[in-house]
Structure 1
Amino acid sequence: MNATIDKLKGNWNIVKGKLKQEYANLTDDDLTYTEGQEDELLGRIQRKTGKAKSEIKRFIDSL
């Protein structure tokens, strides 16, 4: 999870754009990032996309 958090903190605008490309149904509201609330963000993405958290983390880590 630490690699995922580091990606979110350091490159959020890039990660956000890539997530929107990969999962077109995500909105800016879905992708609102607040430091310290990474699990909440991943949960919102998971609910909206139907993907497992582990799959979302792997996608983010691969960027």
Structure 2
Amino acid sequence: MNKDEMGGNWKQFKGSVKEKWGKLTDDDMSVIEGKRDQLVGKIQERYGYQKDQAEKEVADWETRNDYRW
């Protein structure tokens, strides 16, 4: 998968991410821009989660949505 495909894939899934983690802002989504580590960090920041909890939530979301980074 090239960079353009990854970007397009992210655009498809942004709505699902916002649905799951509603505290994430549009600015957060711009920062994340398809980067898994950024998503985990923003979830930690917005929800006050420990890294392992945020990682688990993202992993569960990836499985349910068949998302590939």
TM-score (norm 1): 0.59
Q: CA deviation at 1:14?
A: 2.4
Identity of aligned residues (%): 34
> Mind listing any 5+ residue stretches in structure 2 that lack a counterpart?
1-5
Output the TM-score relative to the length of structure 2: 0.55
Partner of 1:15 in structure 2? 13
Give the root-mean-square deviation of aligned CA atoms. Answer: 2.2
Aligned residues: 53
Larger radius of gyration: 2
Higher relative contact order (CA 8 A, sep 6+): 1
Structure number having the greater helix percentage: 2
Give me the whole-angstrom Cα distance separating, in 1, the residues matched to 2:59 and 2:17. 11
